[in-house]
Chain A
């Protein structure tokens, strides 16, 4: 199985090379945000600059034990963020999201041609933690696991679940 190595920041040209089902090893910077962080970010008067071209990881990590970079940090169900995603795309200019499970049609339409969606292995948080080199809370620390964390990852294994053309890995009938 071939794996495509990607390094952030990703450009539209990088995304164009990706096809649904491709296995990717991602290195660089990604940011966590889940339910509460999405609601809060969208209620901000101005979007934080780091969001432009960013990769959002739907994840609420366990606290890092002493001496460890991070705790367990696998993906959460992306579908819960579907209500926010079209707005996030238009307001912030994010370029990719990482999570698990299918996306709503409205999200697929909003993503087409401008962002991709990667699946990380749900329930493999201990393994995914091994790919994290730096872990830092940058926004909303009061939200605990739901805060925004900046992660530096190295060879994080992902699968392209929705490419720029909108081909969906979860539509197994097509």
Chain B
């Protein structure tokens, strides 16, 4: 049994918060480059601004975007690991340190309806946990901005709606979102699993590296088709028109009840920030 200290987890999470806010991952930058090549003005110019912004953030060490997000964490705990201490407390301590010590914006309010008082340190994080084989802990941080999150939707489709129903709902969601979520967006789609499960799948779809297809060929084909259809909407970067409305469409799926076909669409913005650590 490997032992990992709570302090080590806290330090790793704090470092992830700092890194993700300032450095755009290589897959996002590569995707900008590829999409920019297919665009004309004004979309091309907007991609240039995104690239210049990434450079400015990295050089000046200030966040890519003022919305440094909710700290969404995908946690994989290996069965061969023992954590010395409370892992959730350790993660939240890491978020607190990462956000406050690196001058990131704290955006979490304690009570959604009445008080809406800022917690002051961006905690609590939203943590999705999986117990896996191995003797390691994997932590993936997805800082999730509010503007794109607000444009996300969920619908309980039924089996008769079929694949067309899925396509219609995804397209409708991106169309309704329009310029609001800072397009080009990353479209995370979760299908199956029930009301709660499909939402988590949709969020999980956002952490897959851009350009990586679903392992199942039917879903991979659906991803490719949806990306084409979404891009035909013509919303374009910043909603000023163009060929690139989405950088990618990722689908994650899970078994579900024979009466249901739940679909969730989680929208991510162009500043598609993620960071991961393996302990």
Contacts and interface: CB of A to CB of B under 8 A. Distances in A.
Q: Give the one of A1, A59, A65 with max B CB within 10 A.
A: A65
A65 B61 contact: yes
B68 A62 contact: yes
B65 A123 contact: yes
Q: Give the one of B68, B235, B239 with max A CB within 10 A.
A: B239
B240 A127 contact: no
Given A61-B66, A119-B238, A125-B53, A71 B271 contact: no
Contacts of B64: 72, 123, 125-126
A124 B49 contact: yes
Q: Give the one of A61, A79, A125 with max B CB within 10 A.
A: A125
Nearest to B147: A77
Interface string A67-111: 010011110110110000000000000000000111000000000
A144 interface: yes
A65 B57 CA distance: 13
B71 interface: no
The 10 closest A-B pairs by CB, nearest first: A126-B57, A122-B182, A72-B63, A101-B180, A124-B53, A123-B271, A127-B53, A126-B56, A62-B105, A125-B66
Interface of B: 41, 45-46, 49-50, 52-54, 56-57, 60-68, 103-107, 116, 118, 146-147, 150, 178-182, 234-235, 238-241, 269-271
Given A80-B150, A145-B107, 19 more contacts: A1-B45, A36-B116, A74-B65, A76-B67, A77-B147, A77-B181, A100-B147, A101-B178, A121-B50, A122-B238, A124-B53, A125-B63, A125-B66, A126-B53, A126-B54, A126-B64, A126-B65, A144-B118, A170-B239
Interface of A: 1, 36, 59-65, 68, 71-74, 76-77, 79-80, 100-102, 119, 121-127, 129-130, 144-145, 157, 159, 169-170, 172
